[in-house]
Chains A and B, each alone.
Chain A
Amino acid sequence: MDIKEYIESGIIESYVLGLASPEEAAELESLGKQHPEIKQAVDEFALLIQQQAMQDSIMPPAEIKQQLMDALSDEFEAPKVLIMQPGGNKEETGDTKVKQLPSFSFWRTIAAASIILFIISAAMNVYYYNNYKSASDKYEALLIEKNSLQANNNTYQTKFSNLEQSINILQDSAMRVVKMPGVPGKQDNLATVYWDTKTKDVYVLANNLQQTPAGMQYQLWAIVDGNPVDAGLIGDCDGVCKMKNIPKAQKFAITLEKKGGSPTPNLKAMVVLGKV
């Protein structure tokens, strides 16, 4: 048989379009096994018809697909994991290039477990981050409190140190104590001068002095042979304040002067006076 003539006889078209009789179809299929060019001619025309039909596509109404999916819903199998082997000829049919993993449910379990662990992990991240934030805030607050306590502590230490010094001064056996009660009209005021008989240093303790008005300051005077000698301004010191060195004095007095002190006392503004 002339194969070329056979191929060009119209039998190929007849077969592909389903118009060949069962006998003609059987003959073509059997000849196709011996002559690959027959099979090739069938494939070529089939592809031509397919391309033509694809070009002539008419979209069916959209709801038909859903109706079909619903109608066949019981017939679908659960999706399977497929592995494509590389290098396979895509047009080759018959042999299986798609292989199913034997332990699919195992992998699905692993995948599900991974997702669950990931979600738990994410939740724990949020939880621990919140805890960290809270601890961090508390730490900041404690740090501020600690600094504040430290500052207070320093203040108290300074105060304590001053007071200790004052006590030491007061306890010194060489210290002469001069009480200065309030002058008439200001009797409720009281101050004390401590005068070191060895070093001649003078300390003053404001037992009870009225609050100075704004812009005014108390000034200590030593009365030496009837003349007032500046013995220093009473500042912000706590407890016993160290004043100027006074070698000799018969009396001590405190006057209210303008801030910065005066060279001579304003006697009208005398608050306390005491004899040595």
Chain B
Amino acid sequence: MLESGNKYSEAELVILLKERQQSAFSYLYDNYSGAIYSVILSIIPDRELANDVLQEVFVKIWRQIDSYDATKGRLFTWMINVTRNASIDTIRSKAFQNSQQNRELTETVYESAGSIDTNIDKIGLRKLVHKLKEEYKTLIELAYFQGYTQEEISKIMGIPLGTVKTRLRTALIQLRQIIKP
């Protein structure tokens, strides 16, 4: 497995990235591109599009490394959030450009949630989310993989915001139990 720390610690890597070192970028790509690609594919099933997003994500990580604050968390967590945001922006803009998507928000969500390629269910975190109860699965699908806010989910699903919040927390705790080795 491509574990980090064989060559650089995370702290060393961040310093070298901030010093604009090519070797650090190359190392970052070699070590994390697989994991990041997997996250992208769990959101964007289209490989062509996913390849473009992968490039976009690494360019963002490279150019925005100064905005990474190590006191707030791990480098990987930050990179995954950059990845997730870029992926969601892509499917959203894609959906926006696509006239077929010109429907009610509710319909779109359920349609896409239901029509997801089965292959995608075997990728990354989605593979684990798949093991959750239906109501939790839908919540995480909307929140994590499609990037809707809790207020939006409340409207989409027609349930109170407080319930969305509580259920999402419960869903995440259960997800953690599944991840836990």
Contact = CB atoms under 8 A, between A and B. Distances in A.
Interface in A128-159: none
Contact of A64 (B1, B55, B150): B55
Nearest to B82: A18
A109 interface: no
Contacts of A76: 20-22, 25
- Looking at chain B's contact residues, the main secondary structure is helix
A181 to B, nearest CB: 110
A177 interface: no
Contacts, number: 161
Nearest to A18: B81
Contacts of B176: 13, 45, 48
A209 B116 CA distance: 128
Contacts of A55: 1
Interface residues of B, number: 64
Contacts of B64: none
Interface string B147-159: 0011000000000
A4 interface: no
Given A49-B179, A54-B3, A60-B33, A98 B15 contact: yes
A11 to B, nearest CB: 7
Nearest to A24: B165
A57 B35 contact: yes
Given A55-B1, A60-B33, A21 B55 contact: no
Interface stretch (B71-79, B89-97, B99-107): B71-79
Given A56-B127, A60-B54, A97 B11 contact: yes
Contact of B41 (A10, A58, A65, A96): A58
Interface string A1-42: 000000011110110111101000000010000000000001
Given A46-B73, A64-B55, A53 B168 contact: no
B35 A56 contact: yes
A198 interface: no
A71 interface: yes
A45 B34 CA distance: 20
Contact of B34 (A43, A47, A58, A67): A58
B1 A54 contact: yes
Contacts of B36: 53
Closest 7 CB pairs of A and B: A57-B34, A10-B169, A93-B70, A90-B9, A13-B172, A76-B22, A77-B20
Interface of A: 8-11, 13-14, 16-19, 21, 29, 42-43, 45-50, 52-61, 64-65, 67-69, 71-72, 75-77, 79-80, 82, 84, 90-94, 96-98, 100
